[in-house]
Amino acid sequence: MMALDIKTILTDRIAGIESFSIALDESTDLCETAQLAIFIRDVDKAFTVTEELLALQPLKGTTTGEDIFSEVLKVFTNFGLPWSKLRGISTDGVPSMVGIRKVSSEFE
């Protein structure tokens, strides 16, 4: 119930944002499962800047750039985030996030 309330609050706030950026961090937990943390920093019409943990997504199997993009796409769809308001993406620079292994065809 608490998770649903947090999602509702975030979804309501996201509806009023002017622009946002995301930060991605992929790491492995104690059970050897890769976890993708997605943080959002947004600005609303009153120039209020907020930063939140948007989602923590487990990555099953591989952790290629395509896998990471797929999880980000799911989160954007789930929260109704418009790509047109995305202004920046920050990562920790691991090879799979900076396109060394494979580039997603979504942006071609």
Asked whether residue 43 is domain-assigned, the answer is yes
**Interval 37-72: pLDDT, tens:** 999 999 999 999 999 899 999 988 778 888 889 999
Asked whether residue 57 is domain-assigned, the answer is yes
Asked whether residue 8 is domain-assigned, the answer is no
Count Cα atoms within 13 angstroms, Cβ side, for 57: 23
Asked whether residue 61 is domain-assigned, the answer is yes
> Does 1 score more than 60 pLDDT?
no
Residue type, 47: F
In total, how many domains does the chain have?
Answer: 1
Bridge partners of residue 59, in order along the sequence: 34
Asked whether residue 35 is domain-assigned, the answer is yes
Distance CA 108, CA 96 (A): 17
Q: Please provide residue 107's backbone torsions phi and psi, each rounded to the nearest 5 degrees.
A: -100, 5
Domain residue limits at 34? 17-107
Tally helices (H) and strands (E) across the chain.
Answer: 2, 4
Q: How confident is the model at residue 31 (pLDDT cuts 50, 70, 90)?
A: confident
- Predicted TM-score (pTM) of the model is 0.77
**Interval 83-108: pLDDT, tens:** 999 999 998 766 555 555 554 445 44
Quote the pLDDT of residue 23: 95
